Amino acid sequence: MKQFSKYFFRFLVVLIVAFMVFFFWASSSTLNVIEYKSVSELENKVMPENDSIFSIVTYNIGYLSGMTNNRAIAKPRQLFDKNLSKVLEETKRVNPDIIAFQEIDYNASRSYNVNQESEIAALGFNYAARTINWDERYVPFPYWPISMHFGKVVSGQSIISKYPIKEQQRIVLSRVADAPFYRDAFYLERLAQVVKIVIKSKEVVLINIHLEAFDKQTRVNQFEEVLAIFNTYKNDYPTILLGDFNSRARDKDAVIQKMFAMKDAGNAGFDINNLGNTFDTKNPFERIDYIFYTKNTIEYVSGKVLSQFEEASDHLPIEMKFKLK
């Protein structure tokens, strides 16, 4: 019995050490923190066609996994190739001046190491601002198949633009306060990506966000932080707040109601009596993505949900056309 206990104890120690080594390896980053934000001038050199009416799109692209996003379903290379082809085709037709992405992959094994930002920017966008919020060697989500957990994921939020991007801030929002350590180690950082874009000699502030999906109190906390950022700029700059808020328009208790109540903020492609739903794309039943803008400095021309993108993501993009006052 003593011999058994001795070997069992040794086995237990080895098992604990192996788990700790694996955990620290799996949750370690692949990049230096200074690489978590960047602004690039690309080589496309395409002159914008518009001279007074501009267009912007927000799109949670779901790393091009379509309706398999966050689901325990195998994701073959053909799925990503098909969805990328669809996004390129429809983006070319819409021809926006600026696109703000959430959940876009730069070099991730889960999406077969395709730089999705570069592929889409090659359509004729001259500038790109990138903020990384997920840099992992191992991602245990969704929980099946296990084979898809291995391989690095570098993902985040991007803004690509035909107009110069002057500067960028990467603001990390609140985390889930009571998350267990093993969940917190793999937490997708929620960001406010703040950039200034120069359009016809005017500086326009864009705030691209992706709020917490699964914990309501954390989402409320993050929204209050984002609202403070919006209020910092809204009186001095034409300001656009856009992205995936994960807050339902029909929920009277949802934090998004605060934005609806703001008299100095417009809401693009939105009619409370006839909501254009953005999630999911197989059977859209919720509006959780939005484009808000400052009424005093931006003249709203038109806006709509771009349903023609179909199931390239589990979200549909929104477009706004606008003028600067």
pLDDT tens digits for range 213-254: 999 999 999 999 999 999 999 999 999 999 999 999 999 999
pLDDT, tens digit (0-9, with 9 covering 90-100), for 164-177: 999 999 999 998 88
Structure tokens at 149: 């957990």
In a shared domain, residues 135 and 153: yes
In a shared domain, residues 143 and 160: yes
Is 22 or 69 the better-scoring residue by pLDDT? 69
In a shared domain, residues 145 and 90: yes
pLDDT, tens digit (0-9, with 9 covering 90-100), for 272-281: 888 899 999 9
Spatial distance between the Cα atoms of 272 and 143, rounded to a whole number of angstroms: 37
Spatial distance between the Cα atoms of 36 and 160, rounded to a whole number of angstroms: 16
Amino acid found at 240: I
In a shared domain, residues 254 and 286: yes
In a shared domain, residues 12 and 117: no
In a shared domain, residues 12 and 77: no
pLDDT of residue 43: 80
**Residue-number span of the structural domain to which 67 is assigned:** 32-324
pLDDT, tens digit (0-9, with 9 covering 90-100), for 147-203: 555 467 899 999 999 999 999 999 999 988 876 655 655 567 899 999 999 998 999
In a shared domain, residues 177 and 304: yes
In a shared domain, residues 198 and 313: yes
In a shared domain, residues 25 and 36: no
315: left (phi over 0), alpha (psi -120 to 50) or beta: beta
Q: List for the chain the helix, strand, coil content (%; round to 5).
A: 30, 30, 40
In a shared domain, residues 98 and 174: yes
In a shared domain, residues 137 and 19: no
Neighbours of 303 (CB within 10 A): 21
CATH label of the domain that carries residue 59? 3.60.10.10
In a shared domain, residues 4 and 50: no
Strand 98-105 with 239-244, pairing: unpaired
Structure tokens at 20: 């700790």
Question: In degrees rounded to 5, what are phi and psi of residue 109?
Answer: -65, -30
CB-side neighbour CA atoms (13 Å) of 46: 19
Q: How many structural domains comprise the chain?
A: 2
